[in-house]
Amino acid sequence: MGVYKDRVTIYEVAKAAGVSLATVSRVINNQSNVTPETKKRVEETIQRLGYRPNALAQGLATSRTTNIGIVLSDTNYMYICNLLSGMIDIGKIYGYQTTLFVTKHSPDEAKEVISKLITSHVDGAIVFDDELDESDIRNIESYNVPTVIIGNKVKGDKIASITLNFIDGIVDFVEKHKNGDKFQFVRIANEGKLIRGVEKGLEEKCRDYIETISCSDSYHEVYSHFVDYFKSIPHGRFICPRDSIACAIQNAALDIGLKVPEDVQVLSIIGTKYSSIARPTVSSLEMDMYEVGSIAMRMVTKLLKDELKNREFVFNSEFVQRASTTE
Amino acid sequence: MGVYKDRVTIYEVAKAAGVSLATVSRVINNQSNVTPETKKRVEETIQRLGYRPNALAQGLATSRTTNIGIVLSDTNYMYICNLLSGMIDIGKIYGYQTTLFVTKHSPDEAKEVISKLITSHVDGAIVFDDELDESDIRNIESYNVPTVIIGNKVKGDKIASITLNFIDGIVDFVEKHKNGDKFQFVRIANEGKLIRGVEKGLEEKCRDYIETISCSDSYHEVYSHFVDYFKSIPHGRFICPRDSIACAIQNAALDIGLKVPEDVQVLSIIGTKYSSIARPTVSSLEMDMYEVGSIAMRMVTKLLKDELKNREFVFNSEFVQRASTTE
DNA sequence: CTGTTAGCGCTTTCAG
DNA sequence: CTGAAAGCGCTAACAG
């Protein structure tokens, strides 16, 4: 069939090096109690045979896998990629691999995914998923998987949480600019809890200055929707979940001959680098998602060692005024 | 300490249900040879006890993990996220989890990452990484891990490859527009092999119409670099690796009072949805990276079952003329 | 249809 | 400092 090595086991290494498996095990785990000569001999044999330990067997024997499970609702948005990137980078520093569990915004899948998470015996988990509620998190906890949950305040022995506070920044903004057109909150179908939470917060705190308008989640559909919209209502102020949506609206306005920000203003709740790439640049609530990811990963690693003092971390977003809104 | 279940094992389920482990095993693996009543009883016990199989033990016993390893150089670019998203979605359909291995464009890390990939005993792998060369892939192959490699033609018994052909589209474009300013290929530091390959191809085939200009990989640095640049050379045609770089250049041009595409033209090799969001819209070579990811995942799953006939898949990019270049 | 038993590859006491 | 042996949780013949 080919030149495939049948995977070499610790047993064969031991035999080839003339020692017992225990010794080989000590060498690959860098334990001190091995003579330098023995160690060298074993290491050479490992090299020569191309031996690689089997992480499954190690995991089974130690009940530690050096794997962190990451639960996300999607990986197709820039800000989620930034988040993911932060987690992975830091995870690597601490020697953790990451296994991805994606739920696609569906509650059913979310439940199933938890099941897989448990089964997979990750050492810890980071959850940034809108469909999971507290009971799901408790479920994970009950299987003894230390978990950091982003965007959902949950307390527990093995749980830490990161709150993403967009609402204060946006309420500030709305309050400061309440004179003029009512703000239109652009509600995207199937949007996650993070954004829904912001919407709810705005409803509570700024009821008088906010209306809601619904759209599908596609740049092109939003764009054409608003081309029509602006034909009858040639002005407005729009609060959008993401920068691509904000761009869709401002592009529609511009293409129809309206002016941004004179006639139409847009503002994005979650900004990415594209907020400052777009023209006009899009005002947004900046939050460094890469940083959020890094912190999250740092928190799980601490949680694993029972060294995490502060179980609750709050990220505040900062409103950044750009060209798509007036001062 | 808390309410943690000590993870229930198959053994305890068997005892509680009054059957042997073999029977429980049969039930959780959905094997047919179990009486409906026994099956029901076991399932109830599983429910009641909250039993979840241990994937490590299963993997050890069967030498199958239902895990696919994905090797990437980065997760911070939109097109890579799209790629990833495609892989994950399809993987899920076939019942595979995905474990991520990220190399951060470093050859050293790349070697180490392969080691981890082997160790982790994934059933298969998808590699989209610029630092790995053929010998690394052979290495993976020699450990019997069926692998799909994106952007690098490698042949082997357990290897399939996907070629991303950007070069033909771009050569076409250059040929058609060779009159006028020489094209400047914008070379980004630490750029991956994919882009370097395009550069090399252009050098070979369009030597007379191409020059190279070097930049760092940051929107803001590229932007300010070109603001300066355009002060002394107020025109040019630029071939950029990604749309954010193209935007940096065209924004610099616009902000300094130049016109796009009259004075300055830009073109992005890899386009994302932001190519059509940017204003002016950016001409680019479209390739649906989500689709690439889906195909890649489909190919590994076939490879695993030895059912893959066509070991080589070529994606051609299509040049899409937008507002940043002239016809 | 169900149970017994021998591994899967590794770690980890416990002796020596 | 090194080896022997038990066990991690599960699967898969093999018997019955």
* Mean pLDDT score, A309-319: 93
Asked if the peptide bond before residue B280 counts as cis, ω within 30 degrees of 0, the response is yes
Q: Which residues contact B238 (CB under 8 A, 6 or more apart)?
A: B183, B184, B186, B213, B246, B249, B264, B265, B266, B267
CA B45/CA B29 separation, integer angstroms? 15
Q: State the Cα torsion A219-A225-A231-A232 to the nearest 10°.
A: -140
Chain A, residues 173-202, CB within 8 A of chain B, namely none
Element (H, E) at A77: none
Q: What is the pLDDT of residue B5?
A: 52
Cβ-based contacts of A252 with chain B (< 8 Å) = none
Contact criterion met (CB < 8 Å) for A60 and B56? yes
Phi, psi of B212 (to 5 degrees): -120, 145
The 10 Å Cβ neighbour count of residue B311 is 16
Can you say whether residue B9 is alpha, beta or left, with left for phi > 0 and alpha for psi between -120 and 50 degrees?
beta
Element (H, E) at A300: helix A289-304
CA A311/CA B250 separation, integer angstroms? 45
The 10 Å Cβ neighbour count of residue A9 is 16
CB-strand contact A97/C, under 7 Å: no
Q: Is the pLDDT of residue B292 over 90?
A: yes
The 10 Å Cβ neighbour count of residue B95 is 9
- The CA distance from B230 to the nearest CA of chain A, in Å, is 18
Share of chain B above pLDDT 70, in %: 98
Q: Which residues contact A244 (CB under 8 A, 6 or more apart)?
A: A219, A274, B273, B274, B277
Q: What is the pLDDT of residue A5?
A: 52
Q: Which residues contact A257 (CB under 8 A, 6 or more apart)?
A: none
Average pLDDT of chain A is: 91
Q: What is the pLDDT of residue B4?
A: 44
Mutation site for B-interface testing, chosen from A75, A78, A136, A258 by largest number of B Cβ within 10 Å: A75
Where does the pLDDT of residue B3 fall: very low under 50, low under 70, confident under 90, or very high at 90 and above? Answer: very low
Q: Is the pLDDT of residue B260 over 90?
A: yes
DSSP-derived pairing of the beta strands A183-188 and A159-165:
unpaired
> What is the dotted CATH code of the domain comprising A66-163+287-316?
3.40.50.2300
Cβ-based contacts of A102 with chain B (< 8 Å) = 88-89, 92
DSSP, collapsed to helix, strand or coil, labels residue A276 as helix
Mutation site for A-interface testing, chosen from B1, B3, B52 by largest number of A Cβ within 10 Å: B52
Question: Chain B: residue nearest A145 by CA?
Answer: B4
Beta bridge partners of B71: B101, B127
Chain B, residues 290-309, CB within 8 A of chain A, namely 290
Q: Which residues contact A175 (CB under 8 A, 6 or more apart)?
A: A206
Q: Which of residues 49-108 of B touch strand C (CB under 7 A)?
A: 57, 60-61, 63
Q: What is the pLDDT of residue B92?
A: 92
Mutation site for A-interface testing, chosen from B64, B92, B157, B324 by largest number of A Cβ within 10 Å: B92
Contact criterion met (CB < 8 Å) for B121 and A50? no
Asked if the peptide bond before residue A234 counts as cis, ω within 30 degrees of 0, the response is no
Contact criterion met (CB < 8 Å) for A119 and B53? yes
The pair of structure tokens assigned to B312 is 């080589």
Q: Is the pLDDT of residue A4 over 60?
A: no
* Among B85, B73, B74, B82, residue whose Cα is nearest residue B271: B82
The reply to whether B167-286 shares the fold of B66-163+287-316 is yes
* Mean pLDDT score, B273-302: 95
- Identity of the residue in B53, B144, B248 whose CB atom sits nearest the CB atom of A4: B144
Query: Quick one: A98 exposed, middle or buried, by C-beta within 10 A (0-12, 13-18, 19+)?
Result: buried
Q: Tell me which fold the domain A167-286 belongs to.
A: Rossmann fold (3.40.50)
Q: What is the pLDDT of residue B181?
A: 83
Q: How many Cβ pairs within 8 Å bridge chains A and B?
A: 153
Q: Which residues contact B63 (CB under 8 A, 6 or more apart)?
A: B121
- The CA distance from A76 to the nearest CA of chain B, in Å, is 6
Cβ-based contacts of A306 with chain B (< 8 Å) = none
Q: What is the pLDDT of residue A88?
A: 95
Question: Chain B: residue nearest A282 by CA?
Answer: B278
* Mean pLDDT score, A18-26: 92
Strands (E), chain B: 67-72, 97-102, 124-128, 147-150, 159-165, 183-188, 210-215, 236-242, 264-270, 283-286, 312-316, 318-320
Whether the CB-CB separation of A72 and A132 falls below 8 Å is answered with no
Is residue B61 within 8 angstroms of chain A, CB to CB?
A: no
Q: What confidence tens digit (pLDDT) does each residue in A161-187 have?
A: 999 999 999 999 999 998 888 899 999
CATH superfamily of A1-64: lambda repressor-like DNA-binding domains (1.10.260.40)
* Mean pLDDT score, B33-50: 91
Question: Chain A: residue nearest B255 by CA?
Answer: A279
* Among A4, A118, A7, residue whose Cα is nearest residue A71: A118
Whether the CB-CB separation of A124 and A146 falls below 8 Å is answered with yes
Q: What is the pLDDT of residue A268?
A: 96
CA B116/CA B105 separation, integer angstroms? 17
Kindly give the residue spans of alpha helices, DSSP state H, lying in A31-166. Answer: 36-49, 55-62, 78-93, 107-119, 134-142
Share of chain B above pLDDT 90, in %: 70
Asked if the peptide bond before residue A53 counts as cis, ω within 30 degrees of 0, the response is no
Q: Is the pLDDT of residue B196 over 90?
A: no
Is residue B234 within 8 angstroms of chain A, CB to CB?
A: no
CB-strand contact B11/C, under 7 Å: no
CB-strand contact A224/C, under 7 Å: no
CA B244/CA B257 separation, integer angstroms? 20
Whether the CB-CB separation of B196 and B131 falls below 8 Å is answered with no
Q: What confidence tens digit (pLDDT) does each residue in B208-242 have?
A: 889 999 998 889 999 999 999 999 999 999 999 99
Q: Is the pLDDT of residue A240 over 50?
A: yes
Token pair 């090595």 is found at: A5
* Mean pLDDT score, B72-87: 91
Contact criterion met (CB < 8 Å) for A56 and B53? no
- Identity of the residue in A65, A76, A97 whose CB atom sits nearest the CB atom of B56: A65
Per domain, the residue ranges of chain A are 1-64, 66-163+287-316, 167-286
Q: Which residues contact A236 (CB under 8 A, 6 or more apart)?
A: A181, A184, A229, A230, A264, A265
Q: What is the pLDDT of residue A3?
A: 38
Q: What confidence tens digit (pLDDT) does each residue in B82-113 have?
A: 999 999 999 999 999 999 999 887 778 888 89
Contact criterion met (CB < 8 Å) for B119 and A52? yes
- What's the start-to-end Cα distance of chain B, in Å? 71
Chain B, residues 82-141, CB within 8 A of chain A, namely 82, 84-85, 88-89, 92, 97-102, 104, 115-116, 118-121, 141
CA B162/CA B125 separation, integer angstroms? 13
The pair of structure tokens assigned to A38 is 């023995």
Cβ-based contacts of B246 with chain A (< 8 Å) = none
Q: Is the pLDDT of residue A108 over 60?
A: yes
